[in-house]
Amino acid sequence: MKQYNFDEIIDRKGTDCIKVDLLEERFGNAKLTPLWVADMDFRTPDFIVEAIKKRCEHEIFGYNFGSDAYFNSIIEWVNYKHYWEIKKEWLSYIPGIVKGIAFAVDCFTRPGDKVIIQPPVYHPFRLVPQMQHRQVVENPLKLVDGSYQMDFENLEAVIDKDCKLFILCSPHNPGGVVWEKETLSKLAEICTHHNILVISDEIHAEMVYPQYTHYPFPTVSEAAASCSITFMAPTKTFNMAGIVSSYAIIPDKQIRRDFFQFLHARELDEGTIFAYEATKAAYTYGAEWLQQMRMYIIDNVNYVIDYLEKEIPEIKTCKPQASFLVWLDCRKLNLSQKELVSLFQDKAGLALNDGTMFGKG
Ligand SMILES: Cc1ncc(COP(=O)(O)O)c(C=O)c1O
């Protein structure tokens, strides 16, 4: 079995990489350790690089299409990872998950309609609807014993007839929560009852830690399958976000017809040559690499947690159940927001995401 090397340090400077090359512009200091953009510093796996190189050797980059091999690689991978049998007609390429959320907002809501999110959450969930002049309704997560829970009572209280869409982060960024089946099915029940479409962003789903199970939203109940759109991607998992390749899965016929028609009318369902090649390679050859990468990041996450427990116990972590993000609760440091940012940037030399961008909590 091939052992992949995750220790190698690769200089990303000068590659127009947001995380490194925009440090000066965003933080005013190019020397900070860049931990702010959610991509990894591991080499994109060799089997993906090889597939792209091989395609490059052909030297004609004309119009292309998503072949059966592309769709089958997704169908087989989703079955292998999540024991979910999906059909080709449920699938469409989309050019990125945040863009997918924006298309869903555009397709299923009108200006003034309400979109529900559960902060603290990945900031585009709030910004994307707001920038399209939709009202964002918040149903904040509850922090219970250091882990987040959904507040269904409050959800029922904030829903009104203008609420059209609910954007779910599963697993959850930033808390790293892998939602339980019962939680998701309760959510589906409420949303179905109020005729609210659920957009389930499952970009972190392939990096769930071994002791947890990720349930793709439509698999938890019939209600969930008939009120939702699920977005997944190999880009975050295999460190190839710049290639831009994601997909939507929609079991429900009517939702599928509306959304796929929206995409098709704008040719948003057409991927690039490299998106298709990289996805096929990731999903055909990626299982072993992913296994090793996941163990490596679990070690790193545990290192952070242990270090904080021993050295800075005032900073609490939500112990992630998936992916490579660690959410730090710094409230016990008793610093103002300005002092906290200064501590991390000026003293510790770290470029982190400022927690306030994730909203309440
Ligand atoms: C929850 C979540 N969704 C979406 C994205 C970005 O996905 P994409 O690059 O496909 O838009 C990220 C990246 O950090 C994320 O954490």
pLDDT digits (tens, 9 = 90+) for 93-150: 999 999 999 999 999 999 999 999 999 999 999 999 999 999 999 999 999 988 899 9
Q: Best mutation site among 17, 122, 232, 268 for ligand 1, i.e. most ligand atoms within 8 A of its Cβ? A: 122
pLDDT tens, 246-283? 999 999 999 999 999 999 999 999 999 999 999 999 99
Domain ranges for the chain, please list them.
Answer: 18-45+287-358, 61-285
Q: Best mutation site among 236, 237, 243 for ligand 1, i.e. most ligand atoms within 8 A of its Cβ? A: 236
Q: Is the CB of 175 under 6 A from ligand 1?
A: no
pLDDT tens, 181-199? 999 999 999 999 999 999 9
Domain 18-45+287-358 CATH (choose: 3.40.50.10490, 1.10.3720.10, 3.90.1150.10, 3.30.450.40): 3.90.1150.10
Contact 34, 347 (CB under 8 A): no
pLDDT classification of 344: cutoffs 50, 70, 90:
very high
Give kind and range of the element (H or E) at residue 262: helix 253-265
pLDDT classification of 360: cutoffs 50, 70, 90:
confident
Q: What is the whole-number distance in angstroms between the Cα of residue 48 and the centre of ligand 1?
A: 20
Short-list 17, 84, 26, 72, CA closest to 44:
17
Q: In degrees rounded to 5, what are phi and psi of residue 115? A: -125, 130
Q: How confident is the model at residue 1, as a pLDDT?
A: 86
- Output the residue whose Cα is nearest ligand 1's atom 14: 38
Q: What is the whole-number distance in angstroms between the Cα of residue 203 and the centre of ligand 1?
A: 6
Short-list 39, 45, 1, 57, CA closest to 285:
45
Rounded Cα–Cα distance for residues 195 and 206 (Å): 29
pTM above 0.75, yes or no: yes
Say what the alpha-carbon torsion angle 229, 267, 164, 113 is, to the nearest 10 degrees: 160
Rounded Cα–Cα distance for residues 116 and 119 (Å): 10
CB atoms within 10 A of CB 304: 14
Q: What is the whole-number distance in angstroms between the Cα of residue 128 and the centre of ligand 1?
A: 12
Contact 142, 293 (CB under 8 A): no
Fold of 61-285: Aspartate Aminotransferase; domain 2 (3.40.640)
pLDDT classification of 49: cutoffs 50, 70, 90:
very high
Q: How confident is the model at residue 149, as a pLDDT?
A: 98
Q: How confident is the model at residue 58, as a pLDDT?
A: 97
